[in-house]
Chains A and B, each alone.
Chain A
Amino acid sequence: MRMDGIMKINFKDSIQFILVPLIVLALIKIFWVVLETFVLPKEGINHTEVIRNKPLYYRVKLLKQEQKTTRPVIKKHIANIKDIQLIAIYSELDNVVVTVIYKNKTKVLIKGDTINGFKLISGTKDYALFEKNNKHYKVQLVKASSNNQSSIQVVNPTTQQTEEETNSDGIVDKGDHKEIDRKIFEHFSNNMDDIYKNIGIKEINKKNKKEFQVSFIKRGSPFAKLGIRRGDIIKSINGQEVDSYGAAFNAYQGIKGADMLTVIVIRNNKELELEYEIN
């Protein structure tokens, strides 16, 4: 009778010893299964790398290629720049508007317009620069005290740099575009930190994308001479839209080794194309 009692107690204890942990295990398993089935995600999120072999569009030096492959065309009629008198000029960063007298008629030209075969390519407050047959012609503004005759100077393309706005930062204003010294370009494309010292860019969050706005430009820095202004929104670089950090970084990576650089910015709600040649 007593042995039966001991056996019953031991059997009961043993059952309890095994059963309780098993119940705990089962409960925990159920907990995880429920969580796994109804709450936790079945798959992770992977990043898909966007491979952009080439920008949507890009510029090539067509002019230089033509020069290599074609012979210069000799025209019978050689127009005379002296027929053109510059009486007024308005020159802003990328815009040039001039008023000229040609054959006793007053004409207003904007950058890119042609008169008598001479194409207006740039200008300063004192002169306008025309181009014809790869030669540059500098037409001085007629001063009130002068004999109403513009002074004309043929600018040799090889020595043109001395006539144009050159600065010690290796950035040359070519009128319709700017020329950047490759050494400077390479320096900034390899040293991101130096970019941030000279130019500040802040992000603006739009609905599904980001915009990058120039918040400051260090005075006298190479960036100030590139024509970029505070408040400009950088829309694209070499045709690659800058709408996320990734896109901005890819664009930055993509410009390494480039010969041409086209930056589209939004200034005063208008798109503006800034062109640079890296030499």
Chain B
Amino acid sequence: MQVVKNTFIILLSALIAFLIFMPKKELYYTLEHQLVKLGIKLNEKDITETVPALKIDGMKVYYEGIRLMDVENSTLTTFVFFNKINLHKIAVASSLKSMLPQNIDDINITYSVLSPLRANISANGDFGEVKGYMDFNRTIHLDFVKVGDIKKFKRELKKNENGWYYENQF
């Protein structure tokens, strides 16, 4: 019993220490360096480090020098076994209005060890509400749970018995 108790204490303290001492800002910079290889650059106004999360304000996303979107604030949270990215108030560049919805209120991407091969996505905005996933086969699938203004990018969507959905491989 004592051994179990000690092991539990050690693991718990290891996990807490892992999260507390994690250099989140530097890890975020590592992510930025990796994204550059894919042509994506992130500019941000302010980065704040908290115990479980990293908060980024005024993020601008560029792809190959093209400004894709502005994200008012975003939060990257990690509990090692469960990770979450929240992007709040996203304004997509007007030049991409025929491909992407213009205003997105929230995008949530969660990754859990319980479903290790996919990351779940949910989003809402003036286009309605979507739920879906992104898996390791580089497939993205989003189901429209609530349909809003999808007129401008309807041609990118498909329809089945459950309603509109978006599917693509990247």
Contacts and interface: CB of A to CB of B under 8 A. Distances in A.
Interface stretch (B29-37, B132-140, B159-167): B29-37
Of A29, A33, A249, most B-chain CB atoms within 10 Å: A249
B41 A46 contact: yes
A24 B9 CA distance: 10
Contacts, number: 88
Contact of A46 (B9, B39, B43): B43
Interface in B10-48: 10, 13-14, 17-18, 21-23, 26-30, 32-33, 36, 39, 41-44
A21 B8 CA distance: 10
A28 B43 contact: no
A278 interface: no
Given A35-B23, A244-B65, A253-B95, A45 B13 contact: no
Given A45-B33, A249-B95, A40 B41 contact: no
Contacts of B44: 44
Given A32-B23, A40-B26, A21 B95 contact: no
Interface string A249-269: 110110000000000000000
A66 interface: no
Contacts of B6: 16, 20
A36 interface: yes
B168 interface: no
A17 B2 CA distance: 11
A41 interface: yes
Interface residues on B, range: 20 to 34
Interface bin, chain A: 20 to 34
B65 A36 contact: no
B43 A47 contact: yes
**Most chain A beta carbons < 10 A, residue from B6, B32, B44, B65:** B65
B65 A47 contact: yes
A24 B98 contact: no
Contacts of A44: 28-29, 32-33, 42, 44
Interface string B45-82: 00000000000000010111111000000000000000
A191 B98 contact: yes
B17 A192 contact: no
A109 B100 CA distance: 53
A11 interface: no
A253 B93 CA distance: 12
A28 B98 contact: no
Contact of B30 (A20, A28, A41, A50): A41
B63 A245 contact: yes
A192 B32 CA distance: 29
Given A41-B29, A47-B65, A192-B98, A24 B41 contact: no
Interface of B: 6, 9-10, 13-14, 17-18, 21-23, 26-30, 32-33, 36, 39, 41-44, 60, 62-67, 95, 98-99, 155
13 contacts: A16-B6, A29-B21, A32-B22, A33-B21, A40-B23, A41-B32, A46-B41, A191-B98, A192-B98, A193-B98, A245-B65, A245-B66, A246-B65
Given A32-B22, A244-B64, A249-B66, 9 more contacts: A17-B9, A21-B9, A36-B23, A40-B27, A41-B32, A47-B41, A47-B43, A245-B39, A249-B64
